[in-house]
């Protein structure tokens, strides 16, 4: 697979994640869409590392590893917030969560 092919795949993944984040109303699906966008960025890190001028340095995999760790922390905090919101409002529909006041 060439660098161009990996970049096209990454762009498609990012666009799918962006489309899911903008069009879905379920908070869990939005979090998964953001995770897909972060994985597209990780694919870019690995692709540019692999096809770069100095692939024996492990800068790309290290960036990807840190991005995976940040994404794992983000999804854990995000799911905890979704659970807390669900317990309070009894819904995860983002359209119904437009206020912080209790109805």
pLDDT at 92: 85
Q: Classify residue 71 as exposed, middle or buried by CB count within 10 Å of its CB (0-12, 13-18, 19+).
A: middle
- pLDDT tops 70 at residue 15: yes
- Tokens representing 97 are 């969560």
Higher local confidence (pLDDT), 9 or 95? 9
Q: Where are the domains of the chain?
A: 3-89
CATH architecture of 3-89: Orthogonal Bundle (1.10)
Residue 75 has pLDDT above 80, yes or no: yes
Whether the predicted model's global pTM rises above the 0.85 cut: no
Q: Say yes or no to pLDDT of 103 above 70.
A: no
The pLDDT value recorded for residue 11 is 97
Q: What is the mean pLDDT of residues 69-79?
A: 92
Helix (H) or strand (E) holding 82: helix 59-89
């Amino acid at each position: 697979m060439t660098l161009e092919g990996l970049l096209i795949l990454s762009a498609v993944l990012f666009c799918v994640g962006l489309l899911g984040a903008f069009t879905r109303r379920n908070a869990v699906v939005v979090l998964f869409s953001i995770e897909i966008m972060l994985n597209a960025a990780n694919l870019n890190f690995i692709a540019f590392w692999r096809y770069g001028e100095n692939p024996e340095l492990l800068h790309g995999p290290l960036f990807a590893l840190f991005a995976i760790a940040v994404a794992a922390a983000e999804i854990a905090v995000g799911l905890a917030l979704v659970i807390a919101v669900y317990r309070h409002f009894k819904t995860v529909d983002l359209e119904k969560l437009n206020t912080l006041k209790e109805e």
